[in-house]
Homo-oligomer: A and B are copies of this chain.
Amino acid sequence: MGEDIRAVAAAARDASRLLAAEPTTRKNAALEAVAASLEAEKKQILAANRHDIAAAETAGLAEPLLKRLRFDEAKLAEAVRGIHSVVSLPDPVGRVQELRELDEGLLLKKVGCPIGVIGMIFESRPDALVQIASLCLKSGNGVLLKGGSEARETNKALAAAIARGAEAAGMPSGWIGLLQTREDVGAMLALDDDIDLIIPRGSNEFVKHIMDNTRIPVLGHADGICHVFVDAAADIDMALRVVSDSKTQYVAVCNAAETLLVHRDIADRFLPELAVTLSEQGVRLRGCKVTQKYLPDIEHATELDWETEYLDYILAVRVVDDLDAAVSHINQYGSGHTDAIVTTHAETAELFMDLVDSASVMWNCSTRFADGFRYGLGAEVGISTVKVHARGPVGLEGLCTYKWRVRGAGHVVAEYSGPNARSFTHRTLALPEADST
């Protein structure tokens, strides 16, 4: 098994080096070919999915999981639409990020390029495979994919159709590889020569397990323990709207709020109104002692509540003395995902956004906006809560790095040292216009 994966990874590495030199037009044509291939192989793909569904029903999989697993005609049409939207995204590869004359005739360019080979581990939804593969192809990366084992046949059919489509359009074969087993994942973690970045989607524990077992960089995602802080200078109606949306618009996601912090000077006016609004929406509150003074009927919140990602109609509430106490609470208990302040006071808001050490910081709007689509990134590989490489919602840019390209005319370093040394000019030049496709 380990040997198989080694060969799959080596093939992806070889292909990735050719993909890196493919122009945007050819990659876009390949994406169109992939979309056509998925439609042409629809029959096999849907049959494979029926096979997976039948097996999952026999195994007694719960209905929400069955729903995620289902890949029918509508899902396929949606996946194809997704590919067309990836075609329309600007290509970060080849984008000049810095341009500097080092000396006469010696030019430095910092240019976007693919990372190389991405190892992607994702959950049971087969549509994720199509989205990730198209983003990798667009950004010129090879990819090793490991989906949920319940979706095995669907994933095989999808990956095969994608590979055939891309190859028919002249892309190098081997750029996409499918892993089958848990052992394959273990084997992949050891291949630091051929894999440049692992992106695991899954539980906190799973991501930590990956980080502990590889020297390959990991673009990880921790829990989403998101906060809303209602400042003393908040507009109460706005605060009710923002808290309510952050908590209830979709409770089962990482950018939903789990803890509400309320400035003590507004607690007496805000908390009773909040309790009415949220109870109408079926949200149960758990409060600190001060909160319970205003809302004596709610449960007591313990230390454990501050650390919990409920993903449910529950909200922990704490009254705090001031901005500093709110920031300290968030930096201590939060997961660095997304945190919001509601205030009419600009200086307080700016300070909050400076001091809160999270990927997304919000002022007078819902935590639920922290999302690749809403941010206008086009598509999302995932949300990163690590602080290097890519942070928060990660789009196509997160699948890219850069290289330094230097062009000279026989320039040598010896001329820049010694008694008659030349000096560098280090003149920043204007960037060329970005190519929009």
A-to-B contact residues, CB < 8 Å: 17-18, 20-21, 100, 102, 106, 108, 115-116, 196-197, 208, 211-212, 215, 217-219, 235, 237-238, 241-242, 244-245, 249-250, 327, 331, 349, 351, 353-355, 357-366, 368-370, 374-376, 386-389, 391-393, 401-414, 416, 424, 426
Taking the nearest CB of chain B, how far is it from the CB of A197, in angstroms?
6
Main secondary structure of the interface of A (DSSP, over half): mixed
- Return 27 A-B CB contacts under 8 Å, by A number: A17-B327, A17-B331, A18-B355, A20-B355, A20-B357, A102-B376, A108-B375, A217-B386, A238-B409, A353-B405, A359-B403, A360-B403, A360-B406, A363-B408, A364-B410, A364-B411, A365-B406, A365-B407, A365-B411, A366-B408, A366-B412, A369-B413, A374-B413, A375-B404, A376-B424, A376-B426, A392-B403
- A366 in contact with B413 (CB, 8 Å): yes
Task: Knowing A21-B351, A212-B215, A404-B370 are in contact, say whether A364-B196 is a contact too (CB < 8 A).
Answer: no
Chain B residues near A354 (CB, 8 Å)?
20-21
Chain B residues near A196 (CB, 8 Å)?
386-388
Q: Report the nearest B residue to A417, measured CB to CB.
A: B249
Most chain B Cβ neighbours within 10 Å, of A21, A208, A351: A21
- A242 in contact with B412 (CB, 8 Å): yes
Contact of A387 among B197, B238, B412, B426 (CB under 8 A): B197
Docked CA distance A410–B341 (Å): 11
Nearest 6 Cβ contacts at the A-B interface = A365-B408, A245-B412, A211-B215, A21-B354, A376-B426, A368-B413
